[in-house]
Amino acid sequence: MNYAVIIPVYNEELYLAAALDSLMAQSLLPSQVIIVNDGSTDGTPAIIAQYSQQYSQLKVVHKQEKKTYRIGGTVVENFQLGYAALQPDFEFVVKLDADITLPVHYFATIAQHFSSRPKLGLAGGKQLMLKNKEWVYEPIGDPDHVKGPCKSYRKACLESMKGLRPTIGWDSADEMLAQFYGWEVLVDDQLLIHHHRLTGTNTGQFAVRRRIGHGFYRIRYGFFVSAFSALKSALRTPPYLVSGIAIFLGYLEAWIRRDTFAVTEEEGQYIRQFRWQRMLKKLKN
């Protein structure tokens, strides 16, 4: 089963070599690897050049102009640049962060899942983070959520859902949109993903939470779903209370500005229904 990998990078000299070593050691190798370099100013370009000489399937796309970084939006835009550079002969495509390492049979197992389940549109493993020198589960989102740093999409699924949406929250919206368009989502708990940089440490947690609120507006969570999610964050996510306030403040900012929606009204209606069902299920349990 042919697959392609897209790796957006910006100043990843500490992690990129390990990520590429892990990728090129896979028992099922990718037919194409596109690295999208978003104007790196450290040793990243030299690492890319070294690996490009070593592996013929590895290509690089250099962005012509470095724009202001937008959490979520910039990542998706860079993924789209990489996707446009792919040859069409692949069956699934992977969005892979440069700070990820994987077990050697990771993509062979993902390919088996896609082959055995024709309606499987999106798949991934269980993401771990390094805490006190031990690899532990990274508690971002629900356990059945395919986390953003490593996501594998069946080509037909990605095209039917009209691609990823350039907003923070894209990596939750994609799962709901995949299901809206009739596809299944899978997390394989036996596939362990090692995430070498904690989510959000590149930006700061308060800023991330505010941007999450912006994303809630753009993917049409609506007032009540957003308020409930902010309350949950205030009670569960350090710094307690502050995290929820930041999310709700971000939602209100986007509402006042009337930010552009990233999903259609019909897609948004499904997303709100999906979130309400999840929240009610958790309350009952």
Q: Which of 195, 217, 245 is the last residue of a domain?
A: 195
**Residue 17 reports pLDDT greater than 90:** yes
The number of distinct structural domains making up the chain is 2
Cα(16)–Cα(33) distance, rounded to whole angstroms? 13
Residue 186 makes CB contacts below 8 A (sequence gap 6+) with 113, 117, 120, 122, 123, 124, 146
Geometric angle at alpha carbon 31, from 188 and 144, rounded to 5°: 15
Same domain, 188 and 53: yes
Query: Which of 53-62, 236-245, 246-255 has the least mean pLDDT?
Result: 236-245
Mean pLDDT of 65-69: 61
Same domain, 160 and 209: no
Q: Which of 70, 61, 58 is nearest to 30 (CA)?
A: 58
pLDDT category at 64 given cuts 50, 70, 90 is confident
β-pairing, 58-62 vs 3-9, is: unpaired
Q: Which of 195, 229, 256 is the last residue of a domain?
A: 195
Q: Which of 195, 214, 245 is the last residue of a domain?
A: 195
**Residue 10 reports pLDDT greater than 70:** yes
**Residue 285 reports pLDDT greater than 80:** no
Cα(189)–Cα(3) distance, rounded to whole angstroms? 21
Whether 24 and 114 have beta carbons less than 8 Å apart is answered as no
**Residue 198 reports pLDDT greater than 80:** no
pLDDT in tens, 176-185: 999 999 999 9
**Residue 201 reports pLDDT greater than 70:** no
Same domain, 11 and 136: yes
Tell me phi and psi for residue 160, to 5 degrees. -70, -30
Cα(239)–Cα(244) distance, rounded to whole angstroms? 9
What confidence score (pLDDT) does residue 197 get? 84
Mean pLDDT of 19-23: 99
pLDDT category at 22 given cuts 50, 70, 90 is very high
248 occurs within a structural domain = yes
Same domain, 51 and 93: yes
CATH number for the domain spanning 126: value is: 3.90.550.10
What confidence score (pLDDT) does residue 65 get? 66
Same domain, 127 and 178: yes
Tokens of 26: 């896979």
What confidence score (pLDDT) does residue 68 get? 61
Same domain, 83 and 171: yes
Tally Cβ neighbours within 10 Å of residue 75: 24
Tell me phi and psi for residue 92, to 5 degrees. -145, 155
200 occurs within a structural domain = no
Same domain, 179 and 229: no
Q: At 233, which helix (H) or strand (E)?
A: helix 222-236
- How much is the CA Rg of the chain, to the nearest whole Å? 18
Same domain, 188 and 228: no
277 occurs within a structural domain = yes
Same domain, 139 and 248: no
266 occurs within a structural domain = yes
276 occurs within a structural domain = yes
The mean pLDDT value of the chain amounts to 93
Same domain, 17 and 147: yes
Same domain, 55 and 176: yes
Same domain, 130 and 98: yes
Q: Which of 178, 179, 173, 151 is nearest to 218 (CA)?
A: 173
What confidence score (pLDDT) does residue 74 get? 92
280 occurs within a structural domain = yes
pLDDT category at 54 given cuts 50, 70, 90 is very high
251 occurs within a structural domain = yes
pLDDT category at 269 given cuts 50, 70, 90 is very high
pLDDT in tens, 143-156: 889 999 999 999 99
pLDDT category at 131 given cuts 50, 70, 90 is confident
Domain that holds residue 89: 3-195
106 occurs within a structural domain = yes
Cα(182)–Cα(217) distance, rounded to whole angstroms? 24
pTM beyond 0.85: the answer is: yes
